[in-house]
Amino acid sequence: MAEFKLGILTDVLDLFERLEAIVLITEAQKTEIIESVSDAIQATEKEFGKRTDGSRDIGQNESVGDAWHNASVTIKKYLPQEKLARSLRMKGEAWINMYKWSEAELYNENIKIEEIYERLEKLTSTRRKIFRPKD
């Protein structure tokens, strides 16, 4: 009987954690998130376009770092538990100080632009999040 009760409590806790993870965001908030990440991607692509060697490695560029930081803050403002916010913060910090994070740490964050596009699509998908009615 005790095992049965523990199982139910575990199931209830799991359900609570899932419900807590469902965050309500408006269409305007979703748009703000997408625009902030798009601005960071555009700043990064401009930096890559200036390079004559074709390198797509993180370098030192404060404006690119600030753009990723702003995207991180925007996501965290509306979706505080979202892991993408931490990843983008790390990416921004790496653009400002390329020695702050190791290559392995950055690689494990899945922060290549193509990966960020995929993560952003999942993040803002209506199948994953419940949206409040329009403002």
Within-domain flag for 41: yes
Across 117-129, b (16+ Cβ under 10 Å) vs e yields eebbeebbeeeeb
Across 34-67, b (16+ Cβ under 10 Å) vs e yields bebbeebbebbeebeeeeeeeeeebeebeebbeb
Looking at the structure of the chain, the number of domains it has is 1
Nearest to 111 by CA among 127, 95, 124: 95
Q: What average pLDDT score do residues 2-12 get? A: 63
Question: Domain of 68?
Answer: 26-130
**pLDDT at position 85:** 95
Residue 12 has pLDDT above 60, yes or no: yes
Within-domain flag for 6: no
Within-domain flag for 93: yes
The number of residues making up the chain comes to 135
Within-domain flag for 18: no
Model pLDDT for residues 96-116, shown as the tens digit of each residue: 998 898 888 988 898 899 999
Within-domain flag for 5: no
Within-domain flag for 17: no
Among 53-57, 76-80, 112-116, where is mean pLDDT lowest? 53-57
Q: What are 84's strand-pairing partners? A: none
Within-domain flag for 3: no
Residue 4 has pLDDT above 80, yes or no: no
**pLDDT at position 51:** 80
Residue 135 has pLDDT above 50, yes or no: no
Q: What average pLDDT score do residues 45-65 get? A: 86
Residue 50 has pLDDT above 80, yes or no: yes
Within-domain flag for 84: yes
127: number of CA atoms within 13 Å, CB side? 2
Q: How confident is the model at residue 122 (pLDDT cuts 50, 70, 90)?
A: confident
**pLDDT at position 49:** 85
pTM above 0.75, yes or no: no
